Amino acid sequence: MAQVRYTREHEWIRIDGDVGTVGITDYAQQQLGDVVFVELPDIGSKVRAGVEAAVVESVKAASEVYAPVGGEVVAINEALADEPAKVNADAVGSGWFFKIRIADPGELEGLMESAAYKDYVAGLN
């Protein structure tokens, strides 16, 4: 089973070997409202942990999507160009943003596991 970790900025990363699939959490998409546009990184680009890697725009606001860990972008969810609403429909599934080859697996240790993230979100309300 793939391991999932979360950031304080409401990104998730699902780890499968040395590749992580990245998206925004259900909490984040609910706060944004209806997603109307997603700007994704280029395949082959390098991203650093905590640095903007993508942008998501909704009817309410635009928001940065930060890379949870550093690495190289190896895939993007091209379906989001035509159907950005996939983010609202299935934020932690078909609404993923990009995949990265993780440069330093040790960076995952700084991210929250599911229970800790749920507690974190509960404290925001």
pLDDT average per 10 residues of sequence, the chain (125 residues): 90 97 96 95 97 95 96 98 96 97 96 96 90
Residue range of the domain that includes 83: 3-103+111-120
* Cα R_g (the chain), whole angstroms: 13
* Tokens linked to 112: 């929250």
Is 125 among the domain residues? no
Is 7 among the domain residues? yes
Closest CA to 88 of 36, 18, 22: 36
* Tokens linked to 89: 């429909």
Is 78 among the domain residues? yes
Is 58 among the domain residues? yes
Is 51 among the domain residues? yes
Q: What is the structure's pLDDT at 1?
A: 56
Q: Work out how many domains the chain is built from and give that number.
A: 1
Q: What is the structure's pLDDT at 45?
A: 98
Q: What is the structure's pLDDT at 125?
A: 73
∠ CA 115-72-95 to the nearest 5 degrees? 50
Q: What is the structure's pLDDT at 59?
A: 92
Q: Domain holding 69: CATH number?
A: 2.40.50.100
Is 60 among the domain residues? yes
